[in-house]
Amino acid sequence: MSDPPHVIAVCGSLRDESYTRRALRHALDAAAERGATTELVDLREYDLPVYDPDDDEFPAADRLRETVQAADSVILGTPVYHGSYATPLKNALDYCGFDEFDNTTVGLLCVSGGGFPVTSLDHLRSVCRALNAWVIPHQAALPKARTMFDGETFVDESAAERVATLGHRAVEYANIEPDPRCLESTENVGADD
């Protein structure tokens, strides 16, 4: 555990004008306001092929794993793609495992073009349980993303508040006592063969 807490945000969109990335920057700003050191993990800067268990040793994968392991809290941000979370985030998560996420505090943020970004958050929460992460109850859902921002600035105040609260909680719960392992994490073990 680091003092001050270190909070990172992983952006699941590779799009240059990504709303997810904009929202994550706000979450990290809110975490910094509460004293955290912060880092945005921009997956455009990580050369990660589609995950293949037979061939998963890449410098970018090592860098990703080291960055996530060094974090006290990890905010996962994703766009909704077909009612779930986006491929770049899934790919990044598959390069990680218990070493990176066991007992790590995780916050969830999701952005959609339509009005219902909630299923992606549910799916990500299940994934985090399988990794025995400690997922913050508050989550930031941002529907109709193109109406949310003017440039980098939030124009929707309630959305801005949800995102800022996520950043604050990521700091407040960065160093909580571990819970006993959840059943999901003990049963969803990786195949070793």
Q: Does 44 bind ligand FMN (CB under 6 A)?
A: no
Q: Which stretch binds ligand FMN (CB under 6 A): 111-119, 128-136, 167-175, 180-188?
A: 111-119
- Which residue lies nearer to ligand FMN by CB, 36 or 148? 148
Q: Report the interhelical angle of 157-172 vs 19-33 (nearest 10°).
A: 50
Q: Does 13 bind ligand FMN (CB under 6 A)?
A: yes
Q: What pairing do the DSSP bridges indicate for beta strands 105-111 and 73-81? A: parallel
| Integer Cα distance of 16 and 30 in angstroms | 23
- Which residue lies nearer to ligand FMN by CB, 13 or 67? 13
Return the bridge partners of 10, or none: 41, 76
Among 6, 10, 20, 154, binds ligand FMN (CB under 6 A): 20
Among 2, 15, 45, 47, binds ligand FMN (CB under 6 A): 15
CA angle 82, 125, 88 (to 5 degrees): 50
Nearest CA among 35, 51, 43, 36 for reference residue 15: 43
Among 19, 101, 134, 154, binds ligand FMN (CB under 6 A): 19
Which residues of the shown chain bind ligand FMN in the complex (CB under 6 A)? Answer: 13, 15, 18-20, 79-83, 111-114, 145
